[in-house]
């Protein structure tokens, strides 16, 4: 990972505990203390989820379908429901007013007198549960604002992060002062900082997208990917690799490590006009993490953190990662040809700088 004031080859691993990091940041400020406790509550849940995920097929029916759907209409698996319950119970012990979860149609009210709320996807990438692929938990911490709490723009987030359940259990966290990575020490149970002030490389030679949906994309996205596929002989004059894990936290963690751009556009399929990611508890946390790491995040045109959600479970396209690549993609959308333009003209992305 890259850091400010250090070369990529010499990242600082100070191994400060998450508790010490949060104590130093929060001091005696009551709101910051509440945020810190909310983050620690998510991490308590993360330890329990990591232990379950780590057992794989030894854990009974972890990936079994429940015949239920979540608020977004996606099929729920047994572990989706279980992780929601684990998260809510962990946050119930913290000064958290309410929880907005992907796995519940309505927000869960805990203590309306508490100063902060948590928006959370308890189990990102659950389609990969049985495939031994990294999955995770995404969250954002917001100031309590009554009925308007989860319709605040992402710029209102005080903290955001995600936990990756992979070969290592990793926490990526920002409290608005850079993006940091912590690894779970399974011996002590502590999250220890391994990378501080991560910086996403500004330029990129990798992109992450589900290419099987290409026929459904709009012209700006087709033009962008076509230019990347043209490689060194094309207008970009360099070769690109494509990566797609199908787990948002895994793809974003890779981008934090070595750069790149993550793409989940809206497309022409029924129900996919705004993509499939949820703005409040998926796109917003990722956007804050990326911006605090020197990257960027948009819906193709608009900064993610500037979008005001109409409701808790609203969807949004997402373009996130290396700043130069995110800005380039925005130019493809800004130069979108008018409806009915010729196929050749529709690929004017080929001529963008």
Please identify every residue annotated as catalytic. 74, 80, 102-103, 121, 123-124, 282
Q: Please indicate if the annotation marks 264 as binding a ligand.
A: yes
Q: Please indicate if the annotation marks 262 as binding a ligand.
A: yes
* Nearest one of 47, 250, 32 to 141, comparing CA atoms: 32
Q: Please indicate if the annotation marks 102 as binding a ligand.
A: yes
- The dihedral built from the CA positions of residue 339, 344, 348 and 349, taken in this order, carries a sign that is positive
Q: Please indicate if the annotation marks 268 as binding a ligand.
A: no
Give the count of alpha carbons within 13 A of 172, CB side only: 29
Q: Please indicate if the annotation marks 124 as binding a ligand.
A: yes
Q: Please indicate if the annotation marks 127 as binding a ligand.
A: yes
Q: Please indicate if the annotation marks 282 as binding a ligand.
A: yes
Pairing between β-strand 179-184 and β-strand 191-195 as defined by DSSP bridges: antiparallel
Q: Please indicate if the annotation marks 299 as binding a ligand.
A: no
Q: Please indicate if the annotation marks 177 as binding a ligand.
A: no
The CA distance from 294 to 10, in Å, is: 19
Tokens 């992780």, residue located? 83
DSSP characters over 261-323:
EEEE---SSTT-TT-SSBIIIIIHHHHHHHHHTT-EEESSSSBGGG---SSTT-B--EEEE-H
Residues making up the binding site for Mg(2+): 102, 121, 123-124, 282
Residues making up the binding site for substrate: 124-127, 210, 262-264
Residues making up the binding site: 102, 121, 123-127, 210, 262-264, 282
């Amino acid at each position: 990972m890259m850091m400010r004031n250090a070369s990529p080859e010499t990242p600082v691993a100070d191994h400060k505990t998450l508790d010490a990091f949060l104590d130093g940041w929060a001091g005696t400020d009551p709101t910051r203390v509440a945020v810190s406790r909310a983050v620690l509550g998510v991490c308590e849940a993360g330890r329990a989820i990591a232990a379950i995920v780590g057992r794989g097929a030894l854990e009974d029916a972890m990936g079994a379908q429940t015949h239920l759907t979540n608020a977004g209409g996606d099929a729920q698996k047994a572990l989706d429901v279980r992780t929601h319950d684990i998260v809510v119970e962990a946050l119930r012990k913290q000064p958290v007013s309410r929880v907005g979860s992907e796995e519940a149609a309505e927000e869960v009210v805990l203590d309306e007198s508490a100063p902060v709320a948590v928006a959370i996807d308890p189990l990102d990438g659950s389609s990969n549960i049985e495939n031994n692929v990294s999955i995770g938990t995404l969250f954002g911490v917001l100031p309590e604002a009554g009925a308007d709490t989860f319709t605040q723009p992402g710029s209102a987030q005080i903290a955001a992060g995600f936990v990756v359940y992979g070969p290592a259990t990793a926490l990526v966290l920002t409290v608005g002062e850079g993006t940091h990575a912590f690894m779970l020490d399974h011996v002590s149970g502590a999250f220890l900082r391994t990378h501080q002030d991560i910086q996403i490389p500004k330029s990129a030679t990798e992109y992450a997208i589900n290419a099987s949906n290409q026929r459904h994309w709009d012209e700006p996205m087709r033009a962008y990917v076509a230019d990347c596929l043209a490689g060194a002989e094309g207008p970009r004059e360099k070769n690109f690799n494509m990566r797609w894990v199908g787990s948002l936290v895994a793809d974003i963690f890779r981008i934090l490590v070595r750069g790149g751009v993550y793409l989940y556009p809206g497309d022409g399929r029924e129900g996919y006009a705004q993509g499939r990611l949820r703005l409040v508890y998926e796109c917003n946390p990722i956007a804050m993490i990326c911006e605090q790491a020197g990257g960027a995040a948009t819906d193709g045109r608009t900064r993610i953190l500037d979008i005001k959600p109409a409701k808790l479970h609203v969807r949004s396209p997402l373009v996130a990662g290396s700043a130069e690549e995110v800005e380039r993609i925005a130019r493809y959308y800004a130069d979108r040809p008018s409806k009915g333009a010729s196929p050749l003209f529709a690929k004017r992305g080929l001529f963008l700088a």
